[in-house]
Amino acid sequence: MIIGIPKETLPGEARVAMVPEVAARLVNKGFSLQLESGAGLPAGYHDDDYVAAGVEIVDRRQALAAELVVKVRKPSAEEVGGMREGALYVGFVETCNESDQVLQAMFDRGIRPLAMERIPRISRAQSMDALSSQSNIAGYRAAIEAAARYGRFFPLMMTSAGSVKPARVVVLGAGVAGLQAIATAKRLGAEVYAYDIRPETREQIESLGARAIDLDLGEEGSGEGGYARELSDEAKARQQALLAEELARAHVIITTALIPCRPAPVLITESVVKRMREGSVIVDLAAANGGNCPLTEADKVVRKHGVILVGHTNYPSMMAGDASTFYANNIANLLGIMVEQGESGPRLKDLSEDEITRAALMTPAGDSRH
């Protein structure tokens, strides 16, 4: 089975879907890998490293024409045009809208998209869960970003030249990214507080040594599959008001509250930003979905009312070497359940048989499996 790995083309994307170390394992299992020349360079992997792992270096046209194409970011129209009819695509598809034109173009040409963001959040699928592997990196990098932008110390400092109190860091949203941001800010010595709408996160927050912020919203925030659900307008207003006091006292806020395919909830209002101390930092991981703070600007770092607002939208790409390794491992583990050994090497199984691949495989609306 031939796997093509084209170079990522979305602006600012430095990851690659396969790294030499993981490629070597797949080659050992009988896969043939064809990588577009230079695809690994932004993540720090040279063509020579891939060749040493048994990967063939090809041009873009050939990488896209493989029977199985693996990528990180959503495919472009050009990429779909270059893929062969009936091919399998494995990568993020990044659409909330099933009438998305690129997705339709894939269906029209019989290309089957297996969306990494649809891998179910079940124990057996943890090693294939790229949303988690990348969110974990985002949480770490967000805390580092906050510490670097904050013009003061995170830890308590007692020196002969004076003493400073630790930074007060508030993390909003204690999912995968939030928990890693909490752990990283704690390791840097900050005093960390965290809040999530799902009450079950309290124990996880406290197990990392942070303090959980309790708010009585008058309604349940837990939704399906471990995700948060959107609050009523009344509860949203109550949440903003109750959070305001905690947030105005924060020196750093790392906010990660996302609801899949919905605009990000506003948790930090402009009036809170105005009350924060000069030089405070807000790292808004929801910037791509409108931000948890309406003053955040996606892909920019801005200063408003004396507060630095960081709106980067692709933290994993800022740590492309490790992010690519985690992603490639997720892909290799997924391939492990997608194929069986045939006489001439690995061959694809019926993807509707396993609950993981069945959930990830996107089919046209109207298809009975949809």
Question: Which chain residues interact with ligand NAD by CB under 6 A?
Answer: 121-123, 126, 129, 131-132, 135, 172-178, 195-198, 226-228, 256-260, 265, 267
Nearer to ligand NAD, 121 or 165 (CB): 121
Residue with the two structure tokens 């101390």 = 277
Residue type, 123: S
Catalytic residue among 34, 62, 132, 135: 132
- Please report how close the Cβ of residue 321 comes to ligand NAD at its closest, in angstroms: 22
Catalytic residue among 48, 61, 108, 121: 121
Contact 285, 177 (CB under 8 A): yes
Residue 227 annotated among the catalytic residues of the structure = yes
Catalytic residue among 48, 59, 126, 299: 126
Nearer to ligand NAD, 97 or 123 (CB): 123
Nearer to ligand NAD, 102 or 176 (CB): 176
- Please report how close the Cβ of residue 8 comes to ligand NAD at its closest, in angstroms: 22
Separation between Cα atoms, residue 226 and residue 33, nearest integer Å: 36
Contact 5, 73 (CB under 8 A): no
- Please report how close the Cβ of residue 14 comes to ligand NAD at its closest, in angstroms: 21
Catalytic residue among 25, 227, 238, 240: 227
Separation between Cα atoms, residue 155 and residue 168, nearest integer Å: 10
> Nearest 5°: CA angle at 230, between 270 and 254?
45
Shortest Cβ contact with ligand NAD: which residue? 175
Nearer to ligand NAD, 111 or 146 (CB): 146
Residue with the two structure tokens 């509250």 = 257
> Nearest 5°: CA angle at 291, between 285 and 297?
95
Residue with the two structure tokens 């896209």 = 64
E strand or H helix at 358, and its extent?
helix 355-360
The DSSP code for 76 is: P
- Please report how close the Cβ of residue 225 comes to ligand NAD at its closest, in angstroms: 7
- Please report how close the Cβ of residue 273 comes to ligand NAD at its closest, in angstroms: 17
* Complete DSSP assignment for 289-330: GT-SSTT--TT-EEEETTEEEE--S-HHHHTHHHHHHHHHHH
- Please report how close the Cβ of residue 291 comes to ligand NAD at its closest, in angstroms: 13
Residue 126 annotated among the catalytic residues of the structure = yes
- Please report how close the Cβ of residue 160 comes to ligand NAD at its closest, in angstroms: 42
Q: How far are the Cα atoms of 72, 140, 257, 284 from residue 181, in angstroms, in the given order? A: 23, 5, 13, 12
Nearer to ligand NAD, 228 or 334 (CB): 228
Nearer to ligand NAD, 132 or 296 (CB): 132
* List of residues 6+ apart from 180 with CB closer than 8 A: 135, 136, 137, 138, 139, 140, 143
Nearer to ligand NAD, 259 or 309 (CB): 259
Closest listed residue to residue 96, CA positions, set 239, 228, 260? 260
* List of residues 6+ apart from 81 with CB closer than 8 A: 105
The alpha carbon of 102 is separated from its chain's Cα centroid by a whole number of angstroms, namely 21
E strand or H helix at 169, and its extent?
strand 168-172
Nearer to ligand NAD, 17 or 231 (CB): 231
Q: How far are the Cα atoms of 105, 144, 151, 201 from residue 214, in angstroms, in the given order? A: 47, 26, 29, 11
- Please report how close the Cβ of residue 360 comes to ligand NAD at its closest, in angstroms: 13
The alpha carbon of 118 is separated from its chain's Cα centroid by a whole number of angstroms, namely 13
Residue 132 annotated among the catalytic residues of the structure = yes
Looking at the annotation, which residues are catalytic? 121, 126, 129, 132, 227
